[in-house]
Amino acid sequence: MKKNILILLGLLSTSWVMASGGGSYMGEKAHTNIRSVDSLRNGAKTFMNYCMGCHSMNFQRYNRVAEDLGLTEDEMMESLVLTNAKFSDKMEIAMTPDQGNKWFGKAPPDLTVIAKARGVDWLYNFLINFYVDPTTPTGWNNLTFENASMPHILWELQGIRTAEFEVHQDEKGNEHKEFKSFETVQAGLMSEQEYKDTVRDLVNFLDYSAEPAKLIRMSYAPWVLIFLAVFTLLAYLLKVNYFRDVH
């Protein structure tokens, strides 16, 4: 028993460390809402426009997404599918992992279940915290995922920013960079709020794709609560009835 509790505590603390991102910058929460179909549709659109050049979603199919997001085949194929893929196809891409490794130094991973691996808050922060850094191969760096080999794909929307750091020295003489602020050097097509909303929708879509059944589960939730309330009432009435003659 004691051993089990120790194992449980160990698991909890590891998942806490993983969830906290091992020290990566997490300035804001994502506040996604998987029940908002508009948000999911908008996120799907951004994903297919901007991300599928490099990232596949191999465990997801176009027709499944259309069904879950309430889109007809025509709506899906006309406004969302940009390649010559078929409606029933998996959301695959042409780039092979070998090409990805060659072109970017690291193959862009499949993103079907990335929200399970990273969590929505991490994804949100990753996508809003790119800045210009002339010392990296892509010319970009990221506060949340330092030295990532992914360039800032959405820079036109967000604009171009540099980051200011303060360098501290600890007692041992080691240098630590502390993030101070961003400075916009070129405005984007969107305001800061519009950009954040776009990223929130995109992350919402990634969250849905990691577990499409979540939509169904969430739609059951009110019924489960109603059932519990009715059941509690019945149990209470039964108790009152049983104890009526007990003095």
The footprint of ligand HEC (CB under 6 A) covers: 50-51, 53-55, 104, 106, 108-109, 111, 114, 117-118, 123, 126-127, 148-151, 153-154, 202
Residue 66 or 114: which CB sits closer to ligand HEC? Answer: 114
- Which one-letter amino acid corresponds to residue 11? L
**Shortest separation between residue 123's beta carbon and ligand HEC, angstroms:** 5
Q: Which distant-in-sequence residues (6+ apart) come within 8 Å of 35 by Cβ?
A: 215, 218, 219
Nearest CA among 52, 44, 100, 33 for reference residue 70? 44
Element (H, E) at 171: none
Residue 47 or 62: which CB sits closer to ligand HEC? Answer: 47
**Shortest separation between residue 122's beta carbon and ligand HEC, angstroms:** 8
**Shortest separation between residue 72's beta carbon and ligand HEC, angstroms:** 25
Q: How many CA atoms lie within 13 A of 222 on its CB side?
A: 3
3-state secondary structure of 201: helix
Phi and psi at residue 93, to the nearest 5°: -125, 165
**Shortest separation between residue 190's beta carbon and ligand HEC, angstroms:** 13
If one counts every other C-beta atom within 10 angstroms of the C-beta of residue 144, the result is: 21
Residue 25 or 50: which CB sits closer to ligand HEC? Answer: 50
Residue 109 or 212: which CB sits closer to ligand HEC? Answer: 109
C-alpha–C-alpha distance, residues 236 and 230, integer Å? 10
- Which one-letter amino acid corresponds to residue 245? D
Residue 79 or 232: which CB sits closer to ligand HEC? Answer: 79
